[in-house]
Amino acid sequence: MNQIEKQYAAEKLAQLKLEFDVDIFKDWGDETGTWNVGFWMKEELDRLHGILTCFADCIGGAEKFKGYTGGVSLKKADIGTHGGEALERRISLSTKATFTPWTVVHEFAHTWDAKHKWRLSEILEKYTGGHTNLIQSWLVKLFGKHDSGFRSYERTLGRYGRLPGCNSAGYFYGDQPGGSDWNFNPKEDFAESVAMYVGWERNNDLSEHARKRIVRYELNNGDKDGFGVADNWKDYARYFYPPNGDYTKTKRWKFVDDLVKGNITIQ
């Protein structure tokens, strides 16, 4: 953040707090007498406001958004290879690269889940017909149809751990998620389902990403998808490609839609 932008940044921080109850950790300033630029850029504050506006519009407005997340503090941090990390009322975004709209919505979805003690991902798991069972997962990896090693995935076609239960969590997802890999679990499923709901066919900043996640299962095995990743997409289509390629036909889309309309009971 440049020194000449500090007044604009202060106004933007106040706007984010007022509209979305989001507190940005201010890592720029001249408290020591020397200007510290920090990690945030003016353009990122603008982009963050636009993404949160988009997210809120898709789930019933800013007041609902604030109620769902309960207020969030957000900072830039060194979080290794992750683009973002989230806990209840707290999000970190990577300092190594600028954030994407998908990452922001995904991480705020985690805070929504965390505010309810991760009950939302548990309800999603049951709603979509999934279950988690490490013993069953081990048996699948040893004797059944699997696409990963026993303790990790392999960086080669058809070996990333995308099949049900072939992940580190022993998560057997139900219905058709937008995708899966070795790190997939109910919490990630919920966050990805929210991001897909926000992006799918809405002509916003997440829509291209959402569409790429579905149309890749129309590709041939070995082709690279819209993210530059090659895999055996045709083999995986039965697990991930929704009826007629329409994500609104999945139980995950219906779950998030029911959730924002108040049709899901959270105990």
pLDDT digits (tens, 9 = 90+) for 123-180: 999 999 999 999 999 999 999 999 999 899 999 999 999 999 999 999 999 999 999 9
Residue closest to 104 by CA, chosen among 56, 34, 173: 56
For residue 249, the one-letter residue type is: K
**What is the pLDDT, as a whole number, of residue 33?**
73
pLDDT for 34 = 86
- Contacts (Cβ under 8 Å, ≥6 apart) of 40: 1, 9, 24, 27, 28, 76
Q: How many CB atoms lie within 10 A of CB 219?
A: 18
Q: What is the pLDDT of residue 267?
A: 73
pTM of the model: 0.96
> Is 31's pLDDT higher than 80?
no
The β-bridge relationship of strands 90-94 and 72-77 is parallel
Q: Say if CB 223 and CB 212 are below 8 A apart.
A: no
- The one-letter amino acid code at 201 reads E
| pLDDT tens figures, 211-238 | 999 999 999 999 999 999 999 999 999 9
The answer, yes or no, to whether residue 1 has pLDDT greater than 90, is no
Q: How many CA atoms, within 13 angstroms, populate the side-chain half-sphere of residue 75? A: 12
Give the C-alpha separation, 171 to 131, whole Å: 6
Average pLDDT over residues 91-112: 97
* 8 Å CB contact between 214 and 201: no
| Banded pLDDT at 265 (limits 50, 70, 90) | confident
Mean pLDDT of the chain: 96
pLDDT band at 73 (very low <50, low <70, confident <90, very high): very high
pLDDT of residue 32: 75
